[in-house]
Amino acid sequence: MIPAKVKIVEVGPRDGLQNEKEFVPTETKIELVNRLARAGIVNVESTSFVSPKWVPQMSDAAAVMAGIERRPGTIYSVLTPNMRGFEGALESKADEIVIFGAASEAFSQKNINCGIAESIARFEPVAKAAKDAGMRLRGSISCALGCPYQGEVSIESVVDVVERMKALGCDEIDIADTIGVGTPKRTREVLAAAQKVFPRERLSGHFHDTYGQAVGNIYAALLEGIEIFHASVAGLGGCPYAKGATGNVATEDVVYLMNGLGIETGVDLDQLVDIGDFISRAIGKPSSSRAGRAIFTKKRDGASACV
Ligand code: HMG
Ligand code: MG
Protein backbone atom coordinates (compact mmCIF):
# COMPACT_ATOMS: atom_id res chain seq x y z
CA MET A 1 0.00 0.00 0.00
CA ILE A 2 1.34 3.41 -0.87
CA PRO A 3 1.41 5.95 1.99
CA ALA A 4 -1.43 8.44 2.52
CA LYS A 5 0.97 11.20 3.52
CA VAL A 6 4.61 11.99 2.73
CA LYS A 7 7.21 14.41 4.06
CA ILE A 8 8.99 16.53 1.48
CA VAL A 9 12.49 17.63 2.46
CA GLU A 10 13.40 20.68 0.40
CA VAL A 11 17.10 20.58 -0.45
CA GLY A 12 17.24 23.43 -2.99
CA PRO A 13 18.96 25.99 -0.75
CA ARG A 14 21.77 23.48 -0.11
CA ASP A 15 22.00 20.78 -2.79
CA GLY A 16 20.55 23.12 -5.40
CA LEU A 17 22.63 26.21 -4.80
CA GLN A 18 25.93 24.55 -3.81
CA ASN A 19 26.70 23.94 -7.46
CA GLU A 20 26.14 27.52 -8.67
CA LYS A 21 29.38 29.06 -9.91
CA GLU A 22 28.29 32.66 -9.29
CA PHE A 23 27.93 33.47 -5.63
CA VAL A 24 24.23 33.73 -4.76
CA PRO A 25 23.69 36.65 -2.37
CA THR A 26 23.01 35.62 1.23
CA GLU A 27 19.77 37.65 1.20
CA THR A 28 18.49 35.59 -1.75
CA LYS A 29 19.30 32.35 0.08
CA ILE A 30 17.49 33.61 3.18
CA GLU A 31 14.42 34.62 1.18
CA LEU A 32 14.41 31.22 -0.53
CA VAL A 33 14.46 29.32 2.77
CA ASN A 34 11.77 31.58 4.29
CA ARG A 35 9.44 31.30 1.32
CA LEU A 36 9.79 27.52 1.16
CA ALA A 37 8.92 27.15 4.83
CA ARG A 38 5.93 29.46 4.41
CA ALA A 39 4.73 27.32 1.49
CA GLY A 40 4.38 24.39 3.88
CA ILE A 41 7.76 22.64 3.62
CA VAL A 42 8.37 21.20 7.09
CA ASN A 43 12.04 20.32 6.58
CA VAL A 44 14.33 22.73 4.74
CA GLU A 45 17.94 21.70 4.18
CA SER A 46 19.22 25.24 4.46
CA THR A 47 23.01 25.26 4.02
CA SER A 48 26.29 23.38 4.69
CA PHE A 49 28.99 23.94 7.25
CA VAL A 50 31.69 22.56 4.96
CA SER A 51 35.12 23.78 3.93
CA PRO A 52 34.74 26.99 1.87
CA LYS A 53 37.73 25.79 -0.13
CA TRP A 54 35.71 22.80 -1.25
CA VAL A 55 32.31 24.47 -1.70
CA PRO A 56 32.67 28.28 -1.80
CA GLN A 57 28.95 28.82 -2.41
CA MET A 58 28.17 27.62 1.13
CA SER A 59 30.71 29.90 2.82
CA ASP A 60 27.92 32.11 4.20
CA ALA A 61 26.32 29.25 6.17
CA ALA A 62 26.39 31.10 9.51
CA ALA A 63 24.88 34.25 7.99
CA VAL A 64 22.12 32.28 6.28
CA MET A 65 21.22 30.51 9.51
CA ALA A 66 21.30 33.78 11.45
CA GLY A 67 19.06 35.51 8.90
CA ILE A 68 16.25 33.02 8.38
CA GLU A 69 12.99 33.12 10.31
CA ARG A 70 12.24 30.03 12.37
CA ARG A 71 8.77 28.71 11.89
CA PRO A 72 7.61 26.57 14.79
CA GLY A 73 7.52 22.94 13.72
CA THR A 74 9.84 23.43 10.72
CA ILE A 75 13.14 21.55 10.78
CA TYR A 76 16.10 23.54 9.43
CA SER A 77 18.89 21.10 8.53
CA VAL A 78 22.54 21.68 7.70
CA LEU A 79 25.34 19.47 6.39
CA THR A 80 28.27 18.85 8.73
CA PRO A 81 31.19 16.70 7.55
CA ASN A 82 33.27 17.03 10.74
CA MET A 83 33.42 18.56 14.22
CA ARG A 84 34.26 21.97 12.81
CA GLY A 85 31.03 21.84 10.83
CA PHE A 86 29.13 20.57 13.84
CA GLU A 87 30.28 23.50 15.94
CA GLY A 88 28.96 25.89 13.30
CA ALA A 89 25.67 24.02 13.23
CA LEU A 90 25.33 24.11 17.00
CA GLU A 91 26.13 27.80 17.19
CA SER A 92 23.59 28.53 14.47
CA LYS A 93 20.90 26.53 16.30
CA ALA A 94 20.25 24.13 13.43
CA ASP A 95 17.53 21.59 14.25
CA GLU A 96 19.13 18.73 12.39
CA ILE A 97 22.60 17.92 11.18
CA VAL A 98 23.38 15.77 8.19
CA ILE A 99 26.45 13.58 7.98
CA PHE A 100 27.14 12.50 4.44
CA GLY A 101 28.88 9.35 3.37
CA ALA A 102 28.81 7.22 0.25
CA ALA A 103 28.26 3.63 -0.78
CA SER A 104 31.18 4.03 -3.19
CA GLU A 105 34.81 4.29 -2.04
CA ALA A 106 35.79 6.37 -5.05
CA PHE A 107 33.05 8.95 -4.52
CA SER A 108 33.77 9.16 -0.80
CA GLN A 109 37.37 10.09 -1.62
CA LYS A 110 36.36 12.76 -4.12
CA ASN A 111 33.60 14.28 -1.99
CA ILE A 112 35.03 14.27 1.52
CA ASN A 113 38.65 13.29 0.95
CA CYS A 114 38.57 9.95 2.80
CA GLY A 115 37.34 6.39 2.35
CA ILE A 116 34.08 4.96 3.68
CA ALA A 117 35.48 3.42 6.88
CA GLU A 118 37.43 6.55 7.75
CA SER A 119 34.38 8.73 7.06
CA ILE A 120 32.33 6.71 9.53
CA ALA A 121 35.10 7.08 12.12
CA ARG A 122 35.08 10.86 11.52
CA PHE A 123 31.29 10.97 11.89
CA GLU A 124 31.37 9.19 15.28
CA PRO A 125 32.21 12.24 17.41
CA VAL A 126 29.86 14.39 15.30
CA ALA A 127 26.99 11.96 15.81
CA LYS A 128 27.66 11.73 19.54
CA ALA A 129 27.86 15.51 19.90
CA ALA A 130 24.57 15.91 18.02
CA LYS A 131 22.84 13.40 20.27
CA ASP A 132 24.28 15.02 23.40
CA ALA A 133 22.97 18.38 22.17
CA GLY A 134 19.53 16.90 21.53
CA MET A 135 19.72 17.54 17.78
CA ARG A 136 18.24 15.35 15.11
CA LEU A 137 20.79 13.35 13.14
CA ARG A 138 20.40 12.37 9.51
CA GLY A 139 22.76 10.26 7.44
CA SER A 140 22.98 10.62 3.68
CA ILE A 141 24.34 7.84 1.48
CA SER A 142 25.55 9.01 -1.92
CA CYS A 143 25.87 6.82 -5.00
CA ALA A 144 23.37 4.27 -3.70
CA LEU A 145 22.24 3.60 -7.28
CA GLY A 146 25.49 4.14 -9.14
CA CYS A 147 28.77 6.05 -9.00
CA PRO A 148 30.35 8.44 -11.51
CA TYR A 149 33.80 6.95 -10.81
CA GLN A 150 33.31 3.24 -10.12
CA GLY A 151 30.06 2.63 -12.04
CA GLU A 152 27.97 -0.07 -10.45
CA VAL A 153 27.43 -0.04 -6.69
CA SER A 154 26.30 -3.27 -5.04
CA ILE A 155 23.20 -3.46 -2.89
CA GLU A 156 25.38 -5.05 -0.19
CA SER A 157 27.56 -1.96 0.01
CA VAL A 158 24.51 0.29 0.37
CA VAL A 159 23.12 -1.94 3.13
CA ASP A 160 26.52 -1.97 4.83
CA VAL A 161 26.57 1.86 5.03
CA VAL A 162 22.92 1.93 6.17
CA GLU A 163 23.93 -0.36 9.05
CA ARG A 164 26.91 1.82 9.92
CA MET A 165 24.78 4.98 9.86
CA LYS A 166 22.18 3.22 12.02
CA ALA A 167 24.90 2.31 14.52
CA LEU A 168 25.85 6.00 14.67
CA GLY A 169 22.29 6.73 15.84
CA CYS A 170 20.84 8.32 12.70
CA ASP A 171 17.19 9.26 13.06
CA GLU A 172 16.74 9.29 9.30
CA ILE A 173 18.80 7.82 6.45
CA ASP A 174 18.77 9.07 2.87
CA ILE A 175 19.25 6.71 -0.03
CA ALA A 176 20.72 9.05 -2.63
CA ASP A 177 20.98 8.66 -6.37
CA THR A 178 23.67 11.29 -6.75
CA ILE A 179 23.99 11.05 -10.52
CA GLY A 180 20.41 10.11 -11.34
CA VAL A 181 21.26 6.83 -13.06
CA GLY A 182 18.83 4.67 -11.09
CA THR A 183 15.73 3.15 -12.60
CA PRO A 184 12.54 2.07 -10.82
CA LYS A 185 13.45 -1.63 -10.65
CA ARG A 186 16.81 -0.99 -9.00
CA THR A 187 15.27 1.65 -6.75
CA ARG A 188 12.77 -0.86 -5.42
CA GLU A 189 15.48 -3.49 -4.88
CA VAL A 190 17.76 -1.11 -2.97
CA LEU A 191 14.94 0.28 -0.82
CA ALA A 192 13.58 -3.20 -0.10
CA ALA A 193 17.06 -4.26 1.07
CA ALA A 194 17.60 -1.10 3.13
CA GLN A 195 14.35 -1.52 5.04
CA LYS A 196 15.40 -4.98 6.17
CA VAL A 197 18.01 -3.25 8.36
CA PHE A 198 16.48 0.19 9.08
CA PRO A 199 12.86 1.28 9.72
CA ARG A 200 11.08 2.02 6.46
CA GLU A 201 9.35 5.13 7.80
CA ARG A 202 12.73 6.74 8.54
CA LEU A 203 14.29 6.02 5.14
CA SER A 204 14.14 8.70 2.48
CA GLY A 205 14.59 8.86 -1.27
CA HIS A 206 16.96 11.53 -2.65
CA PHE A 207 16.86 11.38 -6.41
CA HIS A 208 18.72 13.50 -8.93
CA ASP A 209 17.04 13.67 -12.31
CA THR A 210 19.96 13.38 -14.74
CA TYR A 211 18.40 10.55 -16.76
CA GLY A 212 14.80 11.72 -16.30
CA GLN A 213 14.00 8.80 -13.99
CA ALA A 214 13.42 10.62 -10.73
CA VAL A 215 9.61 10.81 -10.76
CA GLY A 216 9.47 7.15 -11.83
CA ASN A 217 11.89 6.27 -9.04
CA ILE A 218 9.76 8.14 -6.51
CA TYR A 219 6.71 6.19 -7.60
CA ALA A 220 8.74 2.98 -7.25
CA ALA A 221 9.82 4.10 -3.77
CA LEU A 222 6.18 4.78 -2.83
CA LEU A 223 5.40 1.19 -3.80
CA GLU A 224 8.08 0.17 -1.27
CA GLY A 225 6.27 2.27 1.33
CA ILE A 226 8.79 5.13 1.49
CA GLU A 227 7.30 8.26 3.09
CA ILE A 228 10.10 10.85 2.87
CA PHE A 229 11.36 12.43 -0.36
CA HIS A 230 13.96 15.07 -1.06
CA ALA A 231 13.44 17.58 -3.83
CA SER A 232 14.77 20.89 -5.02
CA VAL A 233 12.53 23.75 -6.12
CA ALA A 234 12.91 24.48 -9.87
CA GLY A 235 15.07 21.33 -10.00
CA LEU A 236 18.06 23.41 -8.92
CA GLY A 237 21.48 21.94 -8.67
CA GLY A 238 23.91 19.20 -9.39
CA CYS A 239 26.85 17.95 -7.41
CA PRO A 240 30.29 19.56 -7.52
CA TYR A 241 31.86 16.09 -7.21
CA ALA A 242 29.66 14.34 -9.78
CA LYS A 243 30.32 16.00 -13.14
CA GLY A 244 27.32 16.10 -15.46
CA ALA A 245 24.85 15.24 -12.71
CA THR A 246 21.83 17.52 -12.91
CA GLY A 247 19.72 18.82 -10.06
CA ASN A 248 17.45 16.98 -7.74
CA VAL A 249 13.98 16.13 -8.88
CA ALA A 250 11.97 19.37 -8.85
CA THR A 251 9.79 19.90 -5.79
CA GLU A 252 6.95 21.20 -8.00
CA ASP A 253 7.00 17.91 -9.97
CA VAL A 254 6.95 15.84 -6.78
CA VAL A 255 4.06 17.80 -5.25
CA TYR A 256 2.14 17.57 -8.54
CA LEU A 257 2.69 13.79 -8.53
CA MET A 258 1.57 13.47 -4.91
CA ASN A 259 -1.51 15.65 -5.51
CA GLY A 260 -2.45 13.41 -8.42
CA LEU A 261 -2.07 10.33 -6.27
CA GLY A 262 -4.13 11.87 -3.46
CA ILE A 263 -1.10 11.77 -1.15
CA GLU A 264 -0.94 14.60 1.38
CA THR A 265 2.21 16.79 1.45
CA GLY A 266 0.99 19.93 3.21
CA VAL A 267 2.78 21.97 0.52
CA ASP A 268 1.05 24.73 -1.46
CA LEU A 269 1.89 24.01 -5.11
CA ASP A 270 0.86 27.45 -6.28
CA GLN A 271 3.29 29.17 -3.91
CA LEU A 272 5.99 26.66 -4.82
CA VAL A 273 5.66 27.54 -8.50
CA ASP A 274 6.19 31.22 -7.69
CA ILE A 275 9.23 30.35 -5.57
CA GLY A 276 10.62 28.35 -8.50
CA ASP A 277 10.20 31.42 -10.69
CA PHE A 278 11.81 33.67 -8.06
CA ILE A 279 14.96 31.56 -7.66
CA SER A 280 15.28 30.83 -11.39
CA ARG A 281 15.28 34.57 -12.10
CA ALA A 282 17.67 35.21 -9.23
CA ILE A 283 20.29 32.82 -10.63
CA GLY A 284 19.50 33.64 -14.26
CA LYS A 285 18.61 30.11 -15.33
CA PRO A 286 15.34 28.63 -16.55
CA SER A 287 13.50 26.36 -14.15
CA SER A 288 13.92 22.69 -14.94
CA SER A 289 10.61 21.79 -13.30
CA ARG A 290 8.17 20.58 -15.96
CA ALA A 291 5.14 21.07 -13.71
CA GLY A 292 6.51 24.40 -12.49
CA ARG A 293 6.94 25.78 -16.01
CA ALA A 294 3.55 24.52 -17.15
CA ILE A 295 1.68 25.93 -14.15
CA PHE A 296 3.58 29.22 -14.25
CA THR A 297 2.81 29.71 -17.94
CA LYS A 298 -0.84 28.84 -17.42
CA LYS A 299 -1.09 31.34 -14.55
CA ARG A 300 0.64 34.04 -16.58
CA ASP A 301 -1.21 33.49 -19.85
CA GLY A 302 -4.51 32.45 -18.30
CA ALA A 303 -4.78 29.32 -20.43
CA SER A 304 -3.01 26.01 -20.99
CA ALA A 305 0.01 26.69 -23.12
CA CYS A 306 2.87 24.84 -24.76
CA VAL A 307 5.97 25.63 -22.69
P1 HMG B 1 40.12 18.16 3.89
O2 HMG B 1 40.80 19.11 2.95
O3 HMG B 1 40.53 16.73 3.84
O4 HMG B 1 40.15 18.60 5.41
O5 HMG B 1 38.58 18.28 3.63
P6 HMG B 1 41.03 19.50 6.29
O7 HMG B 1 40.64 19.17 7.68
O8 HMG B 1 42.48 19.37 5.87
O9 HMG B 1 40.52 21.00 5.98
C10 HMG B 1 40.89 21.73 4.83
C11 HMG B 1 40.57 23.21 5.09
O12 HMG B 1 39.17 23.40 5.27
C13 HMG B 1 41.22 23.73 6.37
O14 HMG B 1 41.46 25.12 6.18
C15 HMG B 1 40.11 23.58 7.40
O16 HMG B 1 40.25 24.48 8.48
C17 HMG B 1 38.88 23.90 6.59
P18 HMG B 1 42.97 25.68 6.06
O19 HMG B 1 43.64 25.27 7.33
O20 HMG B 1 43.55 25.01 4.85
O21 HMG B 1 42.76 27.14 5.90
N22 HMG B 1 37.70 23.19 7.08
C23 HMG B 1 36.51 23.77 7.29
N24 HMG B 1 36.09 25.04 7.14
C25 HMG B 1 34.79 25.29 7.45
N26 HMG B 1 33.93 24.34 7.87
C27 HMG B 1 34.31 23.07 8.00
C28 HMG B 1 35.66 22.75 7.70
N29 HMG B 1 36.36 21.60 7.74
C30 HMG B 1 37.59 21.88 7.35
N31 HMG B 1 33.46 22.14 8.40
C32 HMG B 1 36.27 18.11 4.26
C33 HMG B 1 37.64 17.45 4.30
C34 HMG B 1 35.25 17.07 4.67
C35 HMG B 1 36.28 19.28 5.24
C36 HMG B 1 36.01 18.63 2.84
O37 HMG B 1 36.21 17.57 1.95
C38 HMG B 1 34.63 19.18 2.65
O39 HMG B 1 34.25 20.19 3.24
N40 HMG B 1 33.86 18.53 1.80
C41 HMG B 1 32.48 18.97 1.54
C42 HMG B 1 32.04 18.41 0.24
C43 HMG B 1 30.61 18.82 -0.01
O44 HMG B 1 30.04 19.69 0.64
N45 HMG B 1 30.01 18.14 -1.00
C46 HMG B 1 28.68 18.41 -1.39
C47 HMG B 1 27.68 17.93 -0.37
S48 HMG B 1 27.38 16.19 -0.44
C49 HMG B 1 26.19 16.02 -1.66
O50 HMG B 1 25.87 16.96 -2.35
C51 HMG B 1 25.52 14.68 -1.79
C52 HMG B 1 24.09 14.66 -1.23
O53 HMG B 1 23.28 15.63 -1.85
C54 HMG B 1 23.47 13.29 -1.46
C55 HMG B 1 23.63 12.87 -2.94
O56 HMG B 1 23.00 13.43 -3.81
O57 HMG B 1 24.44 11.95 -3.14
C58 HMG B 1 24.09 14.93 0.29
MG1 MG C 1 22.27 15.39 -3.75
Quick: pLDDT tens for 115-173. 999 999 999 999 999 999 999 999 999 999 999 999 999 999 999 999 999 999 999 99
Dist. CA 126–CA 22, nearest whole Å: 31
Which of 46, 48, 51 for a ligand 1 pocket mutation test, highest count of atoms within 8 Å of Cβ? Answer: 51
pLDDT score for 237: 87
Residue 170 designated active-site:
no
Ligand nearest to the CA of 111: 1
Q: 65-85 pLDDT, tens per residue?
A: 999 999 999 999 999 999 999
DSSP helix/strand/coil, 54: coil
Mean of pLDDT over the chain: 95
Dist. CA 209–CA 257, nearest whole Å: 15
Closest listed residue to residue 175, CA positions, set 207, 128, 218? 207
DSSP 23: P
DSSP helix/strand/coil, 22: coil
Could you count the other beta carbons within 10 Å of the beta carbon of residue 144?
32
CA–centroid distance, residue 104 to ligand 1 (Å): 18
Please name the residue ranges forming H helices in the chain: 26-38, 61-67, 83-91, 105-112, 116-132, 155-167, 184-194, 214-223, 251-261, 269-283, 290-301
Angle subtended by helix axes 251-261 and 290-301, to nearest 10: 80
Q: 235-271 pLDDT, tens per residue?
A: 998 666 767 778 999 999 999 999 999 999 999 999 9
Q: What are the sequence ranges of the domains in the chain?
A: 7-300
Please identify, by atom number, the ligand 1 atom nearest to the C-alpha of residue 248.
56
pLDDT score for 304: 56
Dist. CA 207–CA 285, nearest whole Å: 21
pLDDT score for 1: 83
pLDDT score for 306: 54
Residues forming a β-bridge with 137 = 97
Please identify, by atom number, the ligand 1 atom nearest to the C-alpha of residue 208.
56
pLDDT score for 305: 53
Dist. CA 237–CA 232, nearest whole Å: 8
pLDDT score for 244: 72
pLDDT score for 241: 72
pLDDT at position 27 over 60: yes
Closest listed residue to residue 78, CA positions, set 97, 63, 95? 97
Please identify, by atom number, the ligand 1 atom nearest to the C-alpha of residue 11.
53
Q: Is the CB of 100 under 6 A from ligand 1?
A: yes
pLDDT score for 300: 87
The CATH fold of domain 7-300: TIM Barrel (3.20.20)
Please name the residue ranges forming H helices in 133-224: 155-167, 184-194, 214-223
Residues bordering ligand 2, an ion, CB closer than 5 Å: 15
DSSP 56: G
- Give the percent of the chain with pLDDT over 90: 93
Q: Is the CB of 59 under 6 A from ligand 1?
A: no
Ligand nearest to the CA of 60: 1
